Every structure is written in C-alpha cells, then in structure tokens.
C-alpha cells in the first residue's frame, strides 16, 4: 500500500514532559554541541541561550542585513533618547521669563529631528527585520531538511528524540512561531532596552544618581519574574511536543484526503475530535502550570509603585524648593517614564522566546550523523558475483526485539530470488538492510566479498532500483515521477518510454490529458489522480528507469499487490525482460509471482528456514509447500468441482 498519512504518532518511548534525556542515549545526535544541550539548563537560562544562539546565526545567514539592522536599531534608540532632552529644552524656553526665541527654536528643531527619525526609520527597520527573519526561516528550514536527509541510513527517523527535535525545528509544537518572528521581536526589543538605558542615564543626570538605580532595579526584577514565566511556558511547549505531535497527527488525519474515506465509513469523527482535544490540552497543561502566581503579580505591582513613589516624591519636592529647574524636572519625568523599557515587554518578549526555541532544535537536527563511518569505496558495476548476508542480526531502534537473528543468505549475481514468509517475518526489513538504509547490528552483508559498510552508501544506492511496499506517490508530473529513478541523469525520453513500457505505465500515460507533463495529484485544479494499480505501475517504471541508468540490483516488494489480473499477467510475461542481467529480489505473498524467481527463500524466526527452487521446496514438503498448498487449494478444489460437474 502506498504511504497514506504523512505524520506518525509519537513513539511510545518519547520523553515525557520535562524529562531530560541523557546524552549517551542518542546515537544520532551530538547533543552537547554548540549549546544545544537543552536539558541541563534552567528554563529562564535556556530561553536566554536560545536567543543568543539565534543572534549568533544572524550574521551567518545575512551579514549585510544584520549589520544594517543593527545600525538602524542603535540609531533609532539614540533618536528616541533625545526626546526627553528636546522636550525639556522646549519647555524650559517656553517657561523662561525672557521667552528666548533661540531656545524655542532649538527645542522645536530637536523635537522635529526626533519625530522625523522615528517616522522614517521605523518602517525601514520593520522591513529589514522582516527580510532578515525570512532569511533566517529559510536557513533554519534548510538546516532541518539537510540534517534530516544527511544520514545515509534512516534509523534516526525511528528515534523519538530526533523526531521531537525535527518537530520543534519545524516550529509546529510551538504554535507555528517560525524563528524569523524572533528577529522582528528583537528589532523591537533592542531599541526599547537601549531607550531604557539612556533614560536611566538621563534620570541620573536630571535627577539624582540613585533614582535610576532604584527604579531600574524594580523594572528589571519584575521583568525577570515575567521572563521566567515565559521560559517555563516555552519549555513546557517544547517538552510537550509528543502530545502536540499526536494532536497534529490527528488533525492531519481529520483534515486531509488519505484517511477521509475510513474516518467516515468507520464513524471515527467523534473519536477523532475527542482524541484531538485531549492531546491538545495535554500538550497545553504545562503551559497553564507555568503561569505566574497572582501573589507574584501583586508583589510586582506593589514593588513598581513603591519605586516610582520613592523617585517622584523627592523630584517634586526638589523642584518646588528650587533645587531642580523646569528643564531638569521635565527631562527627569520623561526619563522616568522611559525606564519602563527595561522591564517586561509583553508580546515582544513572548514572541522572541517562543520563536527562537526552534533554533537549537534545528541546529541539533542539522548535526545529525550517519551511524558509524560511511564507506568510501565505489560500487559501479556491482555485484559481479554475489551478495551475501552472513549471520545478520537486526532490531529496529526503539523496536520490540530482534527482527533478524543470525540470517545467512546468498543472492547470486544476475539471478532472481523470491523471499516469502509470514506477515512481520522480516522480509521488507531484509530489503532495507540490503539497500543500506539500516545497518546490521551483528553479522555483515557483503557484495562480491567486500563488506557493504566499506562502500559509499550513495554509490551503493545508485546500484539499486527499488519498489517498496509503501512506495511514494509524488504529486508531480509523470516525467518527474519516473525521472526520480535517476534524478541526476540528463532528460532521456528514450529511457522514459522504455521504462514505462516495461513497467506497464506507457498505456496509461497516453490516456492522460497532459501526457508526460500531467500533474499527478487530485489536490491541484489541473491535476489528475491515478488509481492504486496505476500508481504501482508508475513506481515500477521509476525503478526501471534507474535500471536503464545503471542500477544492477532490482528489489520489488509486493510489485503486483495493486494490479488487476490482466496487468499482473502482462507483468509476468515481461518478467524475464525486466530482470534480464539484474540481480533481483522479489518479496511477495503471491505464489504466481514467487514462482517467477530462480530461487526462493523462506524467512522464519529471523532466519532463512528454507531455500531452493519452487520444485525443490515443494518436494521438501516443508513450510513453503504448506503455504503453497493453502493458497492453491481453493483453485484446485474449484477445478475438481468444475471437472466433476462437466463429467
Ligand atoms: N520502522 C520500524 N520500527 C520498529 N519496528 C518495525 C519497523 N518496521 C518494521 N518493524 C517491525 O519489524 C518486523 C518485521 O517487519 P517487516 O516489515 O520486515 O515484515 P514483513 O515480513 O515484510 O511483513 P509483511 O509480510 O506484513 O509485509 C515487524 O514486527 C514490524 O513490526
């Protein structure tokens, strides 16, 4: 069956909220590098270090833009710091008995410059921040995609820790706050903080030195309390990605086409809604716990009130007793108001921390490693002699135990081998190991006597043409769907036609409205949806296109599962053409398909239980013979009944 739903529910071994994972558990990630070890840090520190990490990425992403934005932010902060000075000067000139025109003009000009700077610079800053944020989003997404695809094997995708980080890197678990939003928040926060600092200096100058110390401390302390709340919320979000991932998966099932039929037919609607709601609120529960207590809130308000009174009362007293001029009082009062910028900045801070939390996850994903050293030998022309499994043992990461256990098997080059066995016996697993997508835990696979690990995994993949049981239905053109068999090859219409002819898709292609360029997806207005069997023929054509470009090992996992009787019959008729000169592995439950192979291997208890030709295995009267009889019995009985009724 083709892949149906894009997201898997969380792995049972996924970490519970807030539960740290020891670094050595994960063999796919450098957990401790570049400050990405999130588990050891306290929530507040973690939020701050996420932001620092994000800031460090900015020049790497776009040096010029970062510099321009930094200059603008500082310039704007300097401009806004002039505001109290300009107003102070203007008020002083206006209240001065001499009514000096010079003083009024200077005040007005200063005020005009400040306002002009603000009006002109603000939209430019917003635009630059947006562009830098978009660049960061693109770079983060690229790092995630690149990292997730880098390991030559696919075991990391079965790892709950890796899956959680990928999810976080995609920012799905964080209410879709992409890292670029953090840049916008930073571009707003930094001028605020700078304004706060300048205001502190002005208050010290126009008032007394201790005034900014008292008021600034009150703002910083209460702001820190709020920041800790944000840290807790963000880490609650991050820790709860397992639940949120489940919620996202359920939403996907409910809102997309692949599962729509079953959801309706089995009446899963209420179940889905209920499960989604539960998963969503489970994911959010930590958020609610992370709220600041009302007592803390009250304390913060009282502290700020007291600090303001402690500064304002002496200021007014000094002004009324002639110890402060009108200009000083005006500047001091405005600076006093500007000091709020050192405190909690609500949405901006929240946005900054939530949006920057995806960055360490993306960096960790970007550093995913191939399990073990990747081999360097080429693989062109292999195998010449044989592929051999020697005492191969394998268990999936996080799986329930050994799927293969001491398996020995020989695939002579240029011949075909069918693999049969019960559901879950390990047939598909065997093909994935052959393709190098997983490495054996014990034993080895050799190609012409050389360990497969010694070969460059990409070079080995070029030798393979595979149709997996869950082949992918790419929503692209027919040409692309076939061409993906060898993406780096020059456009080759002859190979395209030959591969689709052998794969049984050519007759379908000629009927399509746009021919080779028909977009294969019902989700687009100009797209066309294929039937299951047509998709399978296309998947086979893709593999045969790879063969036309040099692949020498053909792996077909249930290649006839979706085919109608005629198409299956035609495929059998072409089988020798298709497999000529190739080393072919055929996984199937259909004995009509299995019989096409030169040899047959029965997978049983993690090993090869029986091996031989169809006739040899029937003569041995073992498991294969029993399975064959079970499948052919109804037809034989039917034949006997028809024979006797004719007689
Ligand atoms: N990604 C995975 N993670 C963990 N366990 C897995 C994974 N893929 C398969 N398994 C388990 O490995 C075992 C063998 O699966 P495999 O798909 O190789 O069986 P199969 O012989 O091809 O079965 P079928 O005939 O049903 O296609 C099964 O028990 C399955 O649950």
Task: Name the residue range of residue 47's domain.
Answer: 31-239+293-366
Q: Is the CB of 396 under 6 A from ligand 1?
A: yes
- How confident is the model at residue 30, as a pLDDT? 54
Q: Decide: helix, strand or coil at residue 450.
A: strand
Token pair listed for 560: 């006839």
For position 530, which CATH number holds? 3.40.50.300
Ligand 1 centroid to residue 610 C-alpha, Å: 20
pLDDT at site 483: 92
Question: What is the length of the chain?
Answer: 647
Ligand 1 centre to CA of 405 (Å) is 14
The answer to whether residue 95 is domain-embedded is: yes
Q: What CATH number is attached to the domain comprising 53?
A: 1.20.1560.10
Q: Token pair for residue 9?
A: 């529910």
pLDDT of residue 449: 93
- Asked if residue 481 and residue 360 are part of one domain, the reply reads no
Does residue 385 belong to any structural domain of this protein?
no
Question: Which two structure tokens, joined as six digits, stand for 402?
Answer: 């050994």
* The predicted structure's pLDDT at residue 327: 85
pLDDT value at residue 603: 96
Q: Is 367 in the pocket of ligand 1 (CB under 6 A)?
A: no
Query: Does residue 505 belong to any structural domain of this protein?
Result: yes
Cβ burial, residue 270 (10 Å; 0-12/13-18/19+):
exposed
Mean pLDDT of 500-507: 92
Sheet containing strand 553-557, strands side by side = 464-467, 553-557, 583-587, 416-420, 599-604, 607-612
Q: Give the residue, by CA position, lying nearest to ligand 1 atom 25.
A: 423
Ligand 1 atom with the shortest distance to the CA of 429: 18
Cα separation values, 476 from 17, 368, 498, Å: 39, 29, 20
Residue 29 has pLDDT above 60, yes or no: no
Q: Is the CB of 401 under 6 A from ligand 1?
A: no
397 lines ligand 1 (CB under 6 A): no
pLDDT bracket for residue 346 (50, 70, 90): confident
The verdict on residue 421 lying in a domain is no
Q: For residue 561, how far is its CA from the centre of ligand 1 (angstroms)?
A: 17
End-to-end Cα spacing for the chain: 43
CA gap 435, 469 in Å, rounded? 14
- Helix axis angle, 358-366 to 101-149, nearest 10°: 40
The answer on 354 and 484 residing in a single domain is no
Mean pLDDT for the stretch of residues 353-358: 82
Residue 590 confidence (pLDDT): 87
pLDDT of residue 626: 92
Q: Which atom of ligand 1 is nearest to the CA of 603?
A: 21
More confident residue, 553 or 569: 553
What is the band of 373 on the pLDDT scale with cuts at 50, 70, 90? low
Q: Are residues 356 and 477 in the same domain?
A: no
Gyration radius of the chain over CA positions: 34
Q: Are residues 180 and 52 in the same domain?
A: yes
pLDDT on residue 13: 34
pLDDT at position 31: 44
Contacts of 488 (CB under 8 A, 6+ apart): none
Q: Say what the pLDDT of residue 103 is.
A: 73
Query: Residue 208 has what DSSP assignment?
Result: -
Helices (H) and strands (E) in the chain, counts: 23, 10
Please check whether residue 360 lies inside any domain of the structure. Answer: yes
Task: Using the mean position of ligand 1's atoms as its centre, give its distance from the Cα of residue 269 in Å.
Answer: 29
Q: ∠ at Cα 466 (460, 469), nearest 5°?
A: 140
Give the end of a domain, one of 551, 571, 586. Answer: 551
419 lines ligand 1 (CB under 6 A): no
425 inside domain: no
List the one residue out of 568, 569, 539 whose CA is nearest residue 556: 539
The predicted model gives 616-628 an average pLDDT of 93
Q: What's the rounded mean pLDDT across residues 468-473?
A: 88
Q: Whose CA is nearest to atom 30 of ligand 1?
A: 424
Model pLDDT for residues 148-199, shown as the tens digit of each residue: 777 777 877 777 777 777 777 776 555 567 888 889 899 888 888 888 998 9
DSSP 12-40: TTPPPTT----GGG-SS--TTGGG---TT
List the one residue out of 601, 596, 606, 614 whose CA is nearest residue 409. 601
Across 104-127, average pLDDT: 81
Q: Which among 504, 525, 551 is the end of a domain? A: 551
- Confidence class of residue 50 from pLDDT cuts 50, 70 and 90? confident
In the reported structure, the alpha carbon of residue 305 is separated from the centroid of ligand 1 by a whole-number distance in angstroms of 65
For ligand 1, pick from 395, 424, 561 the residue to mutate: most ligand atoms within 8 Å of CB. Answer: 424
Cis before residue 604, ω within 30 degrees of 0?
no
Residue finishing a domain among 366, 398, 426: 366
Q: What is the pLDDT of residue 23?
A: 36
In the numeric block, the tokens 């192979």 are attached to 597
* Mean pLDDT of all residues in 623-642: 74
Distance of CA 646 to the CA centre of its chain: 64
Distance between CA atoms of residues 550 and 462, nearest Å: 8
CA–centroid distance for 354 within its chain: 17
Residue pLDDT, tens place only, 60-100 = 999 999 999 999 888 887 777 778 888 888 888 887 766 66
- Can you tell me the distance from the alpha carbon of 441 to that of 243, in angstroms, rounded to the nearest whole number? 31
Which of the two residues, 258 and 560, has the higher pLDDT score? 560
409 pLDDT tier (thresholds 50, 70, 90): very high
> Ligand 1 test: best mutation among 401, 425, 604, 606, most atoms within 8 Å of CB?
425
The residue among 485, 473, 467 whose CA lies nearest residue 554 is 467
- Greatest mean pLDDT among 29-33, 131-135, 546-550: 546-550
Question: How high is the pLDDT of residue 577?
Answer: 86
What is the model's pLDDT at position 25? 38
Structure tokens at 228: 């800790």
- 361 with 479, same domain: the answer is no
* CA distances in angstroms from 259 to 256, 470, 533, listed in the order given: 7, 16, 19
pLDDT at 40: 45
Question: Is the CB of 426 inside a 6 Å radius of any atom of ligand 1?
Answer: yes
pLDDT of residue 383: 93
φ, ψ for residue 217, nearest 5 deg: -60, -40
pLDDT of residue 15: 35
Share of the chain above pLDDT 90, in %: 32
Decide which of 372 and 172 is more confident: 372
**What local confidence, expressed as pLDDT, does residue 475 receive?**
85
Q: What is the mean pLDDT of the chain?
A: 82
Would residue 436 be called left, alpha or beta, if left means φ above 0 and alpha means ψ between -120 and 50 degrees? left
User: 167: which 2 tokens?
Assistant: 């999810």
Same domain? For 360 and 490 the reply is no
Q: What gap in Å lies between CA 326 and CA 588, rounded to an integer?
A: 93
Q: How confident is the model at residue 529 (pLDDT cuts 50, 70, 90)?
A: confident
Model confidence at 443: pLDDT above 90: yes
- Please state the domain count of the chain: 2
Is the pLDDT reported for residue 299 higher than 80? Answer: yes
pLDDT in tens, 250-293: 887 777 766 777 777 777 888 888 888 887 777 666 555 655 56
Shared domain check, 493 and 353: no
> In which band, very low, low, confident or very high, does the pLDDT at 248 lie, cut at 50, 70 and 90?
confident
Angle at 538 between CA 543 and CA 514, to 5 degrees: 130
Same domain flag for 353 and 481: no
- Look at residue 371 and tell me if it is in a domain: no
The answer to whether residue 598 is domain-embedded is no
Could you give the CA distance from residue 550 to residue 571 in angstroms, rounded to a whole number?
21
Share of the chain above pLDDT 70, in %: 83
| CA-nearest residue, atom 9 of ligand 1 | 429
Residue 619: which residues within 8 A CB-CB, separation 6 or more? Answer: none
Q: Are residues 179 and 318 in the same domain?
A: yes
């Amino acid at each position: 069956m083709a892949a149906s739903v894009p997201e898997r529910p969380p792995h049972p071994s996924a970490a519970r909220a807030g539960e740290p994972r020891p670094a050595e558990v994960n063999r796919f990630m450098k957990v401790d590098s570049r400050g990405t070890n999130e588990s050891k840090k306290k929530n507040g520190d973690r939020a701050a270090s996420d932001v620092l990490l994000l800031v460090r990425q900015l020049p790497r992403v776009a040096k010029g833009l970062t510099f321009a934005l930094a200059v603008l932010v500082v310039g704007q902060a300097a401009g806004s710091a002039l505001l109290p000075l300009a107003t102070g000067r203007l008020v002083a000139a206006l209240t001065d008995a001499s009514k000096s025109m010079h003083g009024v003009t200077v005040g007005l000009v200063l005020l005009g410059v400040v306002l002009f700077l603000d009006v002109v610079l603000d939209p430019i800053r917003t635009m630059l921040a947006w562009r830098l944020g978009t660049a960061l989003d693109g770079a983060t997404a690229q790092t995630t995609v690149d990292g997730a695809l880098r390991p030559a094997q696919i075991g990391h995708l079965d790892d709950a820790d890796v899956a959680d980080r990928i999810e976080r890197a995609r920012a799905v678990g964080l209410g879709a706050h992409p890292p670029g939003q953090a840049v916008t928040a930073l571009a707003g926060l930094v001028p605020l903080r700078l304004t706060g600092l300048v205001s502190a200096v002005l208050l010290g100058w126009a008032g007394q030195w201790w005034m900014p110390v008292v008021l600034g401390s009150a703002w910083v302390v209460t702001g820190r309390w709020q920041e800790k709340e944000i840290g807790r919320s963000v880490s609650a979000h991050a820790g709860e990605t397992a639940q949120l991932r489940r919620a996202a998966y359920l939403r996907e099932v409910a809102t997309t086409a692949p599962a729509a039929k079953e959801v309706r037919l089995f009446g899963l609607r209420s179940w889905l809604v209920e499960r989604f709601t539960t998963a969503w609120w489970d994911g959010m529960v930590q958020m609610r716990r992370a709220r600041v207590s009302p007592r803390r809130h009250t304390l913060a308000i009282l502290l700020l009130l007291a600090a303001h009174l402690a500064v304002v009362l002496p200021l007014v007293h000094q002004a009324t007793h002639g110890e402060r001029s009108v200009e000083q009082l005006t500047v001091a009062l405005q600076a006093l108001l500007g000091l709020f910028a050192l405190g909690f900045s609500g949405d901006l801070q929240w946005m900054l921390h939530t949006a920057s939390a995806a960055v360490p996850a993306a960096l960790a994903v970007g550093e995913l490693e191939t399990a073990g050293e990747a081999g360097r030998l080429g693989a062109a022309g292999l195998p010449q002699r044989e592929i051999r499994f020697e005492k191969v043992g394998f268990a999936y990461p996080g799986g329930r135990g050994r799927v293969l256990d001491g398996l020995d098997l020989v695939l002579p080059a240029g011949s075909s081998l069918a693999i049969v066995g019960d559901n879950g016996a390990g047939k598909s697993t065997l093909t994935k190991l052959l393709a190098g997508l997983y490495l054996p835990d014990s034993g080895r696979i050799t190609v012409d006597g050389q360990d497969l690990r010694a070969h460059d995994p990409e070079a080995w993949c070029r030798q393979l043409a595979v149709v997996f049981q869950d082949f992918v239905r790419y929503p692209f053109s027919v040409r692309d769907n076939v061409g993906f068999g060898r993406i780096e090859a020059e456009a080759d219409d002859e190979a395209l036609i030959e591969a689709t002819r052998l794969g049984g898709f050519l007759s379908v292609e000629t009927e399509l409205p746009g021919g080779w360029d028909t977009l294969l997806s019902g989700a687009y207005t100009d797209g066309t949806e294929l039937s299951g069997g047509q998709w399978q023929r296309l998947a086979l054509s893709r593999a045969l296109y790879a063969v036309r470009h040099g692949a020498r090992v053909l792996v077909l996992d249930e290649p006839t599962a979706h085919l109608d009787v005629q198409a299956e019959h035609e495929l059998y008729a072409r089988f020798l053409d298709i497999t000529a000169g190739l080393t072919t592995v055929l996984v199937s439950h259909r004995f009509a398909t299995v019989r096409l192979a030169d040899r047959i291997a029965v997978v049983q208890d993690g090993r090869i239980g029986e091996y031989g030709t169809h006739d040899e295995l029937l003569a041995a009267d073992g498991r294969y013979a029993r399975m064959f009889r079970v499948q052919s019995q109804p037809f034989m009985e039917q034949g006997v009944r028809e024979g006797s009724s004719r007689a």
